[in-house]
Amino acid sequence: MNRIIFLGTLFVAALACPTKEESLECFYNTADKNKDGRISSHELSRAIDRHLPWWQRVPFKLFGGIERVMTDCDANHDGYLTKAESYDMKDTCLETCYKRTNTISTFAC
C-alpha cells in the first residue's frame, strides 16, 4: 500500500512540474525589463533583488547565485541570456523540476 501511495505522489509531482518553456516564458517576461529579448547580468541581478525573498538569498548565493545562472544558461558566454541559448543548454539551464518550479514561484507567474 505504501508503494502505491509513493508512486501516486511521484505521478502527481511529475504532472505539477512546469515545462522548461513555461519557466523560460515566466522568467523572460518578468526579468527582461527593456524587452530587447535578452537579459544582462545587471537585469538578472535586479530581477533577483526584486523577487527573491530575503531568506532565499543566502542559499541562492551559496549555490553560485547570478554567476551560476549565467554559466548554466549563457551558451556563448557573451554576458547575456537569450531564450535560444537557454534551450540549447539542455543539461544545465532549468534542467530540473526543482529549478523550473522555483522559477515560476519566485517570479509569481
> CA 73, 75, 77: angle at the middle one, nearest 5?
100
pLDDT number for residue 30: 95
Regarding predicted confidence, which is higher, 6 or 78? 78
Q: Is pLDDT of 9 > 60? A: no
Q: Is pLDDT of 27 > 70? A: yes
Q: Is pLDDT of 50 > 60? A: yes
Domain 18-106 bears CATH identifier 3.40.30.10: no
Convert the pLDDT of each residue in 54-70 to its tens digit: 999 999 999 999 999 99
Give the phi and the psi of residue 36 in degrees, each rounded to 5. -95, 5
Residues 34-44, mean pLDDT to the nearest whole number: 95
Confidence (pTM): 0.79
pLDDT number for residue 62: 95
Torsion sign over Cα 102, 71, 32, 36: negative
Q: In the chain, what are the domain boundaries?
A: 18-106
DSSP designation for 19: P
pLDDT number for residue 73: 96
